[in-house]
Structure 1
Amino acid sequence: MGLSDEELVNEIISGNQSAMEVLVNRNYKLVYAFIYRNVGEYHTTLDLTQESFIKIMKNLKIFKSHKGNFQCWILKIALNICKDYWKSAYVKHNTVDDSSLEQVYEEENVINYLEKIEERQEIKKAMMLLPEEQREVIILRYYNDLKIRDIANITEIKESTVKSRLRLAIGKLKTLLQRGDSNERNKRSI
């Protein structure tokens, strides 16, 4: 078995460049997926993931002094980068990544595939309508499968607040998605 993330951090701080590559490769998918779920656009996700790893590498000594869970720490950095992105001017929420359409060949699969894309787009739109603090906890809990305790650590709020935000966000998502379903049914009946 290889070195833990924490041991790799110590190696990097000591000047071992190959440890940096191992650490990035090990955690890239986690950070990329987290950011993609926050911003929903391929090219922006690549940029923000790169920005996250630059910030992570610059701040490894800070992590060493925290003595915490490395993955929670890097997700906290990624979360802050996403927050900065959303605060920046002219962010467009309605981009669609259709690069994966090329992977679909059979006609019946195309219909299923397009229905799934539409469903994901509806969920993404509904997520974007949530207040930022509710969207964050939903993404951390259900997309990154983190425990309430870890979410509280990353977002620097109490566990009870995490639970409350999750409850509120789920309720709002249900309402938004049901409203979207009834609008779609009304369009079809016209």
Structure 2
Amino acid sequence: MHLVERLKQKEEEAYLEVMAAYGDYLLRTAFLLLKDYQLAEEAVQDTFVITFQKIDQLEDEEKLKSWLTTILLNRCRSQMRKSRWKVLLAPLDLIERTKADSQTLNPENALLFSEWHESISTSIQQLDYKYREVITLFYFNEMKIKDIALFTNTNENTVKSKLKRARLLLKEILPEGSIGI
């Protein structure tokens, strides 16, 4: 039996499989959008709760990941609308906790990579939410413009414009020579 069918049958093991398969991906996405690890965790938990409550609405099993992403984006937007806060940038190790690093670096390269990553993360965090969203989906989640347009409920040209504007803003924010956007 397929995973979505098992979810519809309310199998506990299927729930655990979905959380294991998509949890890190969703957490990384939420963290990059919300800039707060606890809020990101909350958004992911809400996403899973909504998913499990409304799993009967999912018709195409192949679209499970995109459906989860859409729910997460809506939770993050809702969180941004509710909150009128400024969050301090979370330490880089929180970002690193959300993804496995399969590559081993020597200490010098690890330090350079860490500084480069922190500089980019800090710069992205300074962008307005609408730009953080498209940058995160395009570069970190490696989505195509067509998919981003679908998830954000905008047209492709709007996504392209936001990406272009976000790149220009990042070029202004980032230290010279730190990245080629």
Scaled to the shorter chain, the TM-score interval is: 0.7 to 0.9
By how many angstroms is 1:86 displaced? 2.8
Q: Which amino acid aligns with 2:157?
A: S
Deviations 1:128-149 (A, max 9, x none): 2222212111100100001111
Deviations 1:63-114 (A, max 9, x none): 23x77722111111111222233331434132325577xxxxxxx82x6544
Q: Which residue does 2:100 correspond to in 1?
A: none
- Is the Cα–Cα contact under 8 Å of residues 32 and 49 in structure 1 kept in the other structure? yes
Q: Which residue does 2:77 correspond to in 1?
A: 83
* Separation in structure 2 between the aligned mates of residue 16 and residue 92 of structure 1, nearest angstrom: 38
Q: Which residue does 1:133 correspond to in 2?
A: 130
Counting helix residues as a fraction of each chain, which structure ranks higher? 1
TM-score scaled by length of structure 1: 0.73
Identical aligned residues as a percent: 25
List runs of 5+ in structure 2 lacking aligned partners: 97-105
The alignment covers a number of residue pairs equal to 166
List runs of 5+ in structure 1 lacking aligned partners: 101-107, 183-190
Equivalence map 1:1-190=2 (5 Å): 7-64=2-59, 69-87=63-81, 88-98=83-93, 109=107, 112-177=109-174, 180-181=175-176
- Is the Cα–Cα contact under 8 Å of residues 34 and 144 in structure 1 kept in the other structure? yes
TM-score scaled by length of structure 2: 0.76
Q: Rg bigger for which structure?
A: 1
Higher relative contact order structure (alpha carbons within 8 Å, sequence separation ≥ 6) = 2
* Separation in structure 1 between the aligned mates of residue 111 and residue 68 of structure 2, nearest angstrom: 34
- Is the Cα–Cα contact under 8 Å of residues 36 and 87 in structure 2 kept in the other structure? no
